[in-house]
Structure 1
């Protein structure tokens, strides 16, 4: 690989990471889409990782925080991080780092969509529960959010 190719690859990785955090697998996928052979950039990407310029842990935390602030539940966040190639340990650490109150988050999401009142109609409560389940909350969070307390 020539010095010119190395500079192009380094610049591409730097531009990606300058905009936002990226997971290791995400950078590999994007570089392959640009037509760069994996053997040309994998060593350079490892240098970025070793220098802690690229970090899956930082990516996972920033992504988890962004999804939490959008009203997503822990199940959805874990699945999203898995799609980016973040390992289960990093995903778990990211959820711990954001220090989320999932019960209050579920209640806030429910109130934003359906209002504060307690729904007595079974079909309407089921609709609320399904919505919260779709958003990625676990059953105990959903039960808390739609309860009369």
Structure 2
């Protein structure tokens, strides 16, 4: 931890109590780097300041100012994961892990307007140049796609497309 980030100490060595202004300042510095979900930001503030009474006030202030928006976060997150070649199941799981509500996750995935079948085919083609020669290779390619977050239908479609192209 850099000296500028170390928590202030009182005379007895215990961490000095922080106030809402410090919490707002820290929250804004985190949100200036990248978007966070409300759940993520709460966890980081709690880790830094403990279970302070003003956490909800700081989170509400960030939302009022437009700095914190789970809908915007989910949209950016989905687009960035699509660019990395990840499928809808993995994206959904990661967003849920970050505390984004199911309704927002579903909305963000549908607004992405991604052709998951084409993406699975593209990802498979980048990783494996040729269609599977035997069952063992086919299982390996299916595991790869499912690990990336594509469902069985999308994975089998990608394998079929790869076989047709070859």
The answer (yes or no) to whether the contact 1:73–1:106 under 8 Å persists in 2 is yes
The alignment yields a C-alpha RMSD, in angstroms, of: 1.4
Unaligned runs of 5+ in 2: 1-17
Hey, what does 2:49 align to over in structure 1? 35
Which of residues 65, 74, 78 is equivalent to 2:92? 78
Higher fraction of helix: 1
Hey, what does 2:75 align to over in structure 1? 61
More relative contact order, 1 or 2 (CA 8 Å, 6+ apart): 1
The one-character-per-residue Cα deviations of 1:47-104 (angstroms, maximum 9, x if unpaired) are 2223432100111111111111111110000000000000011001111122111111
Which of residues 157, 163, 166 is equivalent to 1:144? 157
Matches within 5 A, 1:1-149: 5-115=19-129, 117-147=130-160, 148-149=163-164
Residues paired across the two proteins, number:
145
1: distance between equivalents of 2:78 and 2:52? 28
TM-score, with structure 1 as normaliser: 0.91
Unaligned runs of 5+ in 1: none
TM-score, with structure 2 as normaliser: 0.82
Shift of residue 125 of structure 1?
1.0
The list of structure 1 runs, each at least 4 consecutive aligned residues, that deviate by more than 3 angstroms after superposition, is none
